[in-house]
Amino acid sequence: MDKTMEKATEHLGSLHRAVVFLGPPGAGKGTQAKELARMFGVPHLSTGDMLRECIAHGTPLGLQAKPIMERGELVPDSLVLKMVKQRIQNADCSAGFVFDGFPRTVAQAQYFGELLKRCGYEQPLVVHFAIDPALVLKRITGRRLCKIGGEIYNIFERPTKVPGRCDKDGGELEQRPDDREEIVKPRLEAYARQTAPLVAYYRRLGRLHDVDAAQSVEEVSRRVLEVVQGHDAQSGGS
């Protein structure tokens, strides 16, 4: 009998906890969060998606959020938290869920912790995508898209054979306006400022697990799974 194998399969079958993915834009967090949720068959949640859903379905919260978003303003915490509360009480969240990019502040994290407690969950397991901001900046500002087929390249990490031309169809490559340094840099700086206290908060609680996001997608996936499973073994043993 192989106990390790047995355990691995068992863990993959059920998540039974709240997992939070924390990391700057461009660190590959969204892709990994989605993949983990898919593997465990649990919902992948983001407050952005939730807001769009509420608005599309015309729920009371959606009706409140709509004019605020249309004015291009930030939806207030009180509304976001109400939405989170409703969402995680849905039946589909009973086997666990993966939150992508929430909570964003210590205040949200404290409220979220209370909420989880009331739903019978522990504090979330936080997967922190640690990465050098200079590298993220290169990843985003180096991104180029083919105007014909939409293929994605990177002038630093995945250059084309002919500069400025797609390898597949010779299409002209362009940079998305949002990927320009003057847009990305302040966004990354704001993220770092906002997130540092949150990272410290979860670290103090012993819930934070660092993942080196500079590594390949496959390596990061392997590490994420290790974190999720390793944590399970720890709490199961105590």
> Which residues does the annotation mark as catalytic?
29, 104, 143, 176, 187
Convert residues 142-181 into a mask of x (bound to Zn ion by CB under 5 A) and - (unbound): ----x-xx-x--------------x-xx-x----------
- 168 or 176, CB closer to Zn ion? 168
How many amino acids of this chain bind Zn ion (CB under 5 A)? 8
Number of Cβ within a 10 Å radius of residue 103? 25
DSSP character at residue 158: B
38 touches Zn ion (CB under 5 A): no
What is the spatial distance between Cα 66 and Cα 20, in angstroms, rounded to a whole number?
26
- 150 or 206, CB closer to Zn ion? 150
Residue 120 makes CB contacts below 8 A (sequence gap 6+) with: none
User: Least separation, in Å, of the C-beta of 160 and Zn ion?
Assistant: 9
Which is nearest to 23 in space by CA: 201, 176, 188, 154? 188
Q: Exposure of 21 by Cβ count < 10 A (0-12 exposed, 13-18 middle, 19+ buried)?
A: buried
What is the spatial distance between Cα 231 and Cα 205, in angstroms, rounded to a whole number?
14
User: Least separation, in Å, of the C-beta of 161 and Zn ion?
Assistant: 12
What is the spatial distance between Cα 109 and Cα 208, in angstroms, rounded to a whole number?
13
User: Least separation, in Å, of the C-beta of 201 and Zn ion?
Assistant: 44
- 151 or 210, CB closer to Zn ion? 151
Window 91 to 150, contacts with Zn ion (CB under 5 A): 146, 148-149
- 166 or 224, CB closer to Zn ion? 166
Binding positions for Zn ion, rule: CB under 5 A = 146, 148-149, 151, 166, 168-169, 171
